[in-house]
Structures are given as C-alpha cells and as structure tokens.
Chain A
C-alpha cells in the first residue's frame, strides 16, 4: 500500500535535547511538508520541500531544521532552540499542486 509513515508515534524530549522525527513516503510525491498542531490552533507550516535537496521555511521555522536528501524522506529535527516544542507534528506529501496525503502524526512531549 502506498502511504506516508511517521515515527515514532510518541516522543519524549528532555530540556536542551535535540530530537528527530521521521517521515517516509512511497507515493513518489515531489513535495513534502511539516506542520505543527496545537490544541485549538489548527495546523501551522514549519518547513516544506518541493524537490530533493531544496526546502523553504514556513510560518514557524525557528527552532526546527530539516533535510531532503532523498525523495522519500523528510526528517524534522526539533532543536533545543525551540522553547515550546510540546505539540502534535504532522508530515504530509503531495504531487505538486494537488491534495495532500498526511501521516498519522508524532506527539512530542517535553519532560
């Protein structure tokens, strides 16, 4: 089955620690996205990539970093510079200007 896989489902981060969220797709989509969702806030765009080896900042990129070395993969690193990282993180992909396919999300909690 084609789809988009996020891992892990739950992640706990200690203060000052960097953590990396995985996102893999086998849909052959060129574009991939990372969104953050807080309660009552909807989805906010962190980073997006329209092609391999290229990515752009979204609305809330501070404290996050990404890479796009392979078409299938778009990992997100939450750095220690992100002061309030507790949230639900959603990865998505699309074939250009089309509908997005979402992963099932990673819930990150600071402990």
Chain B
C-alpha cells in the first residue's frame, strides 16, 4: 500500500523559479525522506527529516514537516535545468521495522 502521495503529479517551471512539491501520508511516521530519480536511473537520497523536526535545509533544498496534518513539502529554490527529475517522498514507521514506503512521485520539468 502506498503511504505517501505527492502533489502535484507533474510540475513544469522556468529556470530560476522555485519549485514546491507536497507529500501527504496516512499513518504516524518516524522519519520522512525525499529522493530524486533521473529518468531510467536509481533513486538518490536528498534529505531526511525526523518526526520531531519541523524544517530542514540542505543547499537549495528546504523541507518542512507538519505531523498534525501528516504532510511535508520540498522546496527547490532557483531551479536549474539539471533539477529535471522525479521526486519521491518516503516514510518509515520506526521501531524494528525500518522499511521505506514511497509515494508515486512528482515529475519536475525545469525549462531552460
């Protein structure tokens, strides 16, 4: 079963603009992570935010987490054509079972 749902499914912006993607999930979580996938390739980890954190930054990435709304957002600032990829959120429930459950992803296209 899919735990996370990303929104929007697809997003097209111009280079230099900011891109915001959202993720909603259904059950309580331990951590939420964001991954990136270039077409036909494996996923690459971007950032992890713990359930007791509200915001985290890494370079041009900003992630927020609202556990009361069971949602997270990923903001990419000053986007570049090289940011074109699919972005997935993934959650784990902690404890002894640390498998990740992924959403369906947001396809981001950054036009030069």
Contact = CB atoms under 8 A, between A and B. Distances in A.
A53 interface: no
Nearest to B42: A102
Interface residues of A, number: 29
B84 to A, nearest CB: 17
A105 B41 CA distance: 6
A59 interface: yes
B100 A100 contact: yes
Contacts of A102: 35, 42-44
Contact of A104 (B9, B42, B99): B42
Contacts, number: 61
Nearest to A105: B42
- Give the dominant DSSP class at B's interface: loop
A84 interface: no
A41 B104 contact: yes
A78 interface: no
A93 to B, nearest CB: 11
A78 B42 CA distance: 20
Given A42-B2, A42-B103, A42-B104, A31 B43 contact: no
* Interface core residue of A58, A97, A105 (most chain B CB under 10 Å): A97
B71 interface: no
Interface of B: 1-2, 9, 30-31, 33, 35, 40-45, 48, 88, 90, 92, 94, 96, 98-105
Interface of A: 6, 31, 33, 35, 40-45, 48, 50, 58-59, 88, 90, 92, 94, 96-105, 107
